[in-house]
Each structure stands twice: as C-alpha cells, then as structure tokens.
Amino acid sequence: MKNYFYSNRLSEQIRNLLDENLSESATKNITIGDLSVLPSPKDLSEYLPATLISLDRTENKFANESMNIAYTPYYFSIYYIYPYTFEGDNDAVRQGKQYAEEIANVLMNLRTLDNFKIPKSEIEIGGLVVHSELSNIKYDSAEQEFFRNMEIPAQIATLEICIGFRTYSE
C-alpha cells in the first residue's frame, strides 16, 4: 500500500522556507500545530513573536482515476502572533502587520514551496506541489477575540493558504 498524503511534509517545508527567508526579528518560534501548542499565558511573552502552521483540512480528488493520479488541496492557516505593550508610543500593531505581510511575501514568491517534490518509491506514490494560493490575511478573527478576552496583549494575523499537490501516476 502506497502513501498518498503529505500534510506533515508540506507543513515542514513551509516551516523551513519561513525559517530560511524571514528576517531574524520577525519571529522567535515557527511551530507546526494550532493555538493549543502555545505555552500558558504567563509564559507566552517569552515565546512571542511566533508563527504557527496549522493544517485545517485536505480534500482528495482524482485528476485522472485511470492512471491513479490524485490532486489534493491542503488548506492551512498560518497564525502570526505579535506581542505589544501599553507603554509609551507603541508601534507594535503596525509592525505586526508588516511581519505578517513578510510571511505572505515569502509564500507568494515561493508558490510551489520552492518546487517541493516527494520522490516516487515502493511506499510513496510521490508527487509535487503544482500551485498555492494565499486567499486571505485576516487581522480581526475569533483567535484575536480570544486573546482579547484572556487579556493577552498580542495581535494575531491569520494567513489562509491552499497548497495544491498532485501525485505521480502509478
């Protein structure tokens, strides 16, 4: 039986590309997972700014069933969490948005995740990223409201991206 699904490898490739291409001041941590991987609120400031790569869902579709070629869109939410304080002249919200756009620019410039491929093997059907689409950058979200309610001074940008992966024929 061959493997057709590559969500972990795609997540790791996104993490590696962000780690290699973001400015040093943009993020301290790039983690695969959702908001549940964050430390407790009292320890959060040491962890921020942070980028979380969270797989929302996949849809398996056959592009050519007779040749066993699948097309799978992988839908990710990338959360960028940037801290701010209430002291003095604070420009953190503007800076946080600028870093979120820096993440978006990395993804837009490397649309095929730097020509990401999985080689075909005895256990892998293999394939390649054929496209990606950054559909949204949201600054006012349920996650942001949650942080407000918890009185955690951080801005959250949510970047929604779909990575299209096509398998090789058998």
Residue 88 has pLDDT above 60, yes or no: no
At CA 49, angle to CA 112 and CA 110, rounded to 5? 10
Residue among 13, 20, 158 nearest 100 (CA): 158
Q: What is the mean pLDDT of residues 96-114?
A: 94
Task: Give residue limits of the domains in the chain.
Answer: 7-167
Residue among 137, 134, 163 nearest 7 (CA): 163
**Topology (CATH level 3) of domain 7-167:** STM4215-like (3.30.2000)
Residue 68 has pLDDT above 80, yes or no: yes
Looking at residue 162, its pLDDT comes to 97
Can you read off the two tokens belonging to residue 158?
């949510």
Can you read off the two tokens belonging to residue 110?
């490397």
C-alpha span between 58 and 90 (Å, rounded): 40
Q: What is the mean pLDDT of residues 39-65?
A: 92
Band of pLDDT at residue 89, cut at 50, 70 and 90: low
